[in-house]
């Protein structure tokens, strides 16, 4: 009867790293157990490495998103956004302007200024013609005023038929939503500008 070859326990132990020439050789069952443990540790190490890689990707993506969110808005974009706000407010009043003074085709300019700056603008814009009327808004100090330059066809005001066609009007809207017609005339005479004091 042929004897079945038994495994060389010392050789297996050396291969698996569990043998020392000065130590006794562990039983084969223990060697197999250690081999299974090492295979298990290898599987867990592989899983942890994969999880670590995924976590690294997540950190990189999160960092990228935070960088995008933290990116400062350029001054040009901020200026454009600030200019859109008063223009939108002027468009909200276009229907009332059309009802009272004529037909609005669009907003040529829109500004929010203090009543003091508005008064200084009204009192000095025609200084070259010798006209310096006192503004009714002078006493209202720092109160914000919305100044709208509307383009269209306008004739709903006194003396409209005695002057050139008014295709632009300037309307002032105070904090209470009250509309005041400032001026009307040809676009060539009513330049769009930010109201404020002049030299």
Instruction: Produce one character per residue of 62-72: b if its CB has 16 or more CB atoms within 10 Å, e if not.
Output: eeeeeeeeeee
φ/ψ (deg, to 5) at 130: 80, 5
Max mean pLDDT among 40-44, 61-65, 80-84, 158-162 falls in: 158-162
pTM of the model: 0.59
**Residue 53, CA atoms < 13 Å, CB-side half-sphere:** 6
For residue 142, what pLDDT band results from cuts at 50, 70 and 90? very high
pLDDT at residue 21 tops 70? no
Radius of gyration of the chain (CA): 42
Whether 156 contacts 101, CB under 8 Å: yes
What pLDDT is stored for residue 125 in this prediction?
A: 87
**pLDDT tens-digit profile of 106-122?**
999 999 999 999 999 99
């Amino acid at each position: 009867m042929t004897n079945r070859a038994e495994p060389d326990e010392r050789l297996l132990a050396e291969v698996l790293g569990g043998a020392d020439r000065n130590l006794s050789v562990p039983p084969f069952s223990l060697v197999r157990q250690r081999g299974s443990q090492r295979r298990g540790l290898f599987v867990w190490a592989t899983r942890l490495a994969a999880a670590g890689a995924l976590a690294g990707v997540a950190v990189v993506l999160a960092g990228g998103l935070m960088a995008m969110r933290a990116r400062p808005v350029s001054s040009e974009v901020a200026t454009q956004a600030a200019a859109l706000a008063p223009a939108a407010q002027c468009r909200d009043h276009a229907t009332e302007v059309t009802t009272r003074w004529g037909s609005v085709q669009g907003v040529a300019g829109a500004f929010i200024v203090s009543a003091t700056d508005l008064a200084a603008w009204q009192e000095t814009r025609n200084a070259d013609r010798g006209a310096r009327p006192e503004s009714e808004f002078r006493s209202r100090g720092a109160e914000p005023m919305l100044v709208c330059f509307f383009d269209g066809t306008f004739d709903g005001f006194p003396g409209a038929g005695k002057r050139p066609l008014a295709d632009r009007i300037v309307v002032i809207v105070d904090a209470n939503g009250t509309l005041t017609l400032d001026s009307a005339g040809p676009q060539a005479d009513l330049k769009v500008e930010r109201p404020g004091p002049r030299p």
